[in-house]
Structure 1
Amino acid sequence: MSGDPKQLGPTIRSTVAGMLGLGMSFIERLMKTKVYNEVKGCGKSVVKLTKNFRSHGAILKFPNNRFYSRDLECCGDPKLINFYFDSQHLVAKKFQIVFPVAEKDDREASSLASFNIDEATQVKIFGTPILINASHTADNDIGVIAPYHAQVLKMCTALRAVADSTKVGSVEEFQGQERHVIIISTVRNSREFVKYDLRHTLGFVANPRRFNVAVTRAQSLLYYIVGDPSVQSIDPLWQSFLNYIHRSGG
């Protein structure tokens, strides 16, 4: 078997199924047994593929420290991962992550569908200058990730006129994929809605696997994670990630 138990597992909507442990993938279940467990047992049946050929070191560093015991090695093609090395879009030179601040979020009155118009608008603004100013960057080199289907639809509409071939999708749609540039819309800017997500295991908050997949899709530039740091930092994982960005000047 091959796989990554630190990324997305089964989607469970049944409380009973969750109580029975069906939210844990088969490979993760095996990894907890003695013969595979590197901590509790010998772990000689596990082979780690530690060479990462996808991401710039600044993008890889946090998930590597947090999820992979710092075992991953940055082995990407320098021409690709350093493509935006001197980009005017970087807040801090040599640090390939940027986190601005958005406004409030909204919810459609007739459903629990969650979206954020301000973030969708910012994604359109942020995505456009890359296409105009950065040479050799096509709209299909850019990926836009959101945790809610309603936000995906809003951003598809916003980008249609300026970047029709840009891939916009949920975290699940992006697992196994990669793009030169990734933009993430976190959507949540209200503590009330974050509490709802925590109860129903939605979004990025309190969901390490979804977080891990989202922040590891970028090859050259994690160009704008749009959200409200004061709300995202409710979750300890996001708080650590925001501290990492802040210390690095992003």
Structure 2
Amino acid sequence: MIIIDESSQHPEYNFLTLLSIFPKTRFCLIGDDKQLTPYSSAPSESKITSIGRRSVLDVLVNQAALGSCNLSKLLTTFRCHPSILELPNELFYSKTLISGCSAESKSSVLKKLKFPNPHNPMAFIDVKSTHYKSENSLSCGNDKERDKCVELIKLLLKNECVTAQNLAVVSFYAEQRMRLSEDLKKDEITKEVRVNTVDSVQGAEFEVVILLTTKTAFAKKEPFLTNPNRINVAITRAKHALFIMGRELTLRSLPVWRDLIAFCEKNAGMLGEKDIPQLF
């Protein structure tokens, strides 16, 4: 038997190659069709999209609906604090997920911080800022968001809420990731904090996550930042606490994000940039 993990990112053509090499072997594919699909540089409207770069997991989920293969759903999750799980469960899973852990077992960080809602270790921090476009790529950065992120990181470490090794920053944009990583390496206190892009952390988990949205002005369509699978990956990496930084006013104009912000409002999870020190 061949077991393929994170199979939502496994392209169909790779799987066909494996089938040709091991025609009599049984395959077990493990993955989440609500998370990121295989990367391809081909334009989304290209014909290759319809076959070559499809997620093999998506193909098999469709086949299972036709009775062509077996499908087992794992609905109990043990990663996140139950309150953090509520957000993706509501946005992406039609409330079918079940938390397999107690709030108490995931409250070590919550007890050390003064969240607006003492039962919810998640906050959206409104950073009133302006992004810039990278000179060398299609990516973008945001100086003020970076500064506020560093401020939050230092306070988390200074107050011993989490160790640097268990804290991660997850950025939607590579430019912001690169610049922030450079900033953190300059300081002995913060140099061990990991900085990743959303697309690189599928399958990973961290005690505390700071999620950076960075971009503050949008075109009519924003397929990258509004991709539900990408947002789902971004908000499901944290085990004990999740901070989301972004420009509330403009993010409200985007699909999924307006629902995410509404969820945070409903659960008393909205903060301003000046409120960061008040968490401690």
- TM-score bracket relative to the smaller structure: 0.7 to 0.9
Distance, in Å, in 2 between the alignment partners of 1:243 and 1:23 is 34
1:79 CA displacement: 5.5
1:182 CA displacement: 0.3
Distance, in Å, in 2 between the alignment partners of 1:219 and 1:63 is 13
Question: Are 1:184 and 2:214 an aligned pair?
Answer: no
Evaluate the alpha carbon distance shift between residue 51 and residue 19 of structure 1 in structure 2; reply closer, same or farther with a 3 A threshold: closer
Corresponding residue for 2:191? 164
Whether the 8 Å CA contact 1:188–1:231 is kept in 2: the answer is: no
Distance, in Å, in 2 between the alignment partners of 1:246 and 1:22 is 41
Equivalent position amino acid for 2:152 in 1: F
Corresponding residue for 2:260? 241
Question: Are 1:55 and 2:80 an aligned pair?
Answer: yes
Corresponding residue for 2:60? 30
Evaluate the alpha carbon distance shift between residue 113 and residue 86 of structure 1 in structure 2; reply closer, same or farther with a 3 A threshold: same
Unmatched segments (≥5 aa) in structure 1 = none
Question: Are 1:14 and 2:42 an aligned pair?
Answer: yes
Distance, in Å, in 1 between the alignment partners of 2:49 and 2:208 is 38
Whether the 8 Å CA contact 1:184–1:214 is kept in 2: the answer is: yes
Tell me the TM-score normalised to structure 2 length.
0.78
1:100 CA displacement: 1.4
Tell me the TM-score normalised to structure 1 length.
0.86
Equivalent position amino acid for 1:212 in 2: N
Whether the 8 Å CA contact 1:86–1:94 is kept in 2: the answer is: no
Distance, in Å, in 1 between the alignment partners of 2:30 and 2:134 is 40
| CA deviations over 1:124-171 (Å, ceiling 9, x no partner) | 001111111135x21011010111111101111222213111110111
Corresponding residue for 2:274? none
| CA deviations over 1:61-106 (Å, ceiling 9, x no partner) | 1211232232222123656511123333412211111111111111
Equivalent position amino acid for 2:92 in 1: F
Evaluate the alpha carbon distance shift between residue 43 and residue 226 of structure 1 in structure 2; reply closer, same or farther with a 3 A threshold: farther
1:234 CA displacement: 2.1
Distance, in Å, in 2 between the alignment partners of 1:116 and 1:49 is 38
Whether the 8 Å CA contact 2:37–2:55 is kept in 1: the answer is: yes
Report the identity percentage.
24
Rg: which structure is higher? 2
Distance, in Å, in 2 between the alignment partners of 1:122 and 1:113 is 20
- Aligned to 1:145, what secondary structure does the other structure show? strand
Distance, in Å, in 2 between the alignment partners of 1:139 and 1:108 is 28
Distance, in Å, in 1 between the alignment partners of 2:33 and 2:232 is 11
- Aligned to 1:86, what secondary structure does the other structure show? helix
Q: Which residue, out of 216, 233, 236, partners 1:213?
A: 233
Distance, in Å, in 1 between the alignment partners of 2:71 and 2:122 is 32
Corresponding residue for 2:94? 69
Whether the 8 Å CA contact 1:113–1:148 is kept in 2: the answer is: yes
Evaluate the alpha carbon distance shift between residue 17 and residue 123 of structure 1 in structure 2; reply closer, same or farther with a 3 A threshold: farther
Once superposed, what is the RMSD of the aligned Cα atoms?
A: 2.1
Paired residues, number: 236
Evaluate the alpha carbon distance shift between residue 43 and residue 227 of structure 1 in structure 2; reply closer, same or farther with a 3 A threshold: farther
Whether the 8 Å CA contact 2:60–2:69 is kept in 1: the answer is: no
Whether the 8 Å CA contact 1:12–1:22 is kept in 2: the answer is: no
Distance, in Å, in 1 between the alignment partners of 2:92 and 2:48 is 23
Evaluate the alpha carbon distance shift between residue 18 and residue 67 of structure 1 in structure 2; reply closer, same or farther with a 3 A threshold: farther
Distance, in Å, in 1 between the alignment partners of 2:156 and 2:96 is 33
Whether the 8 Å CA contact 2:126–2:247 is kept in 1: the answer is: yes
Deviating more after overlay: 234-243 vs 21-30 = 21-30
- Aligned to 2:168, what secondary structure does the other structure show? strand
Whether the 8 Å CA contact 2:80–2:106 is kept in 1: the answer is: yes
Greater strand fraction, Structure 1 or Structure 2: 2
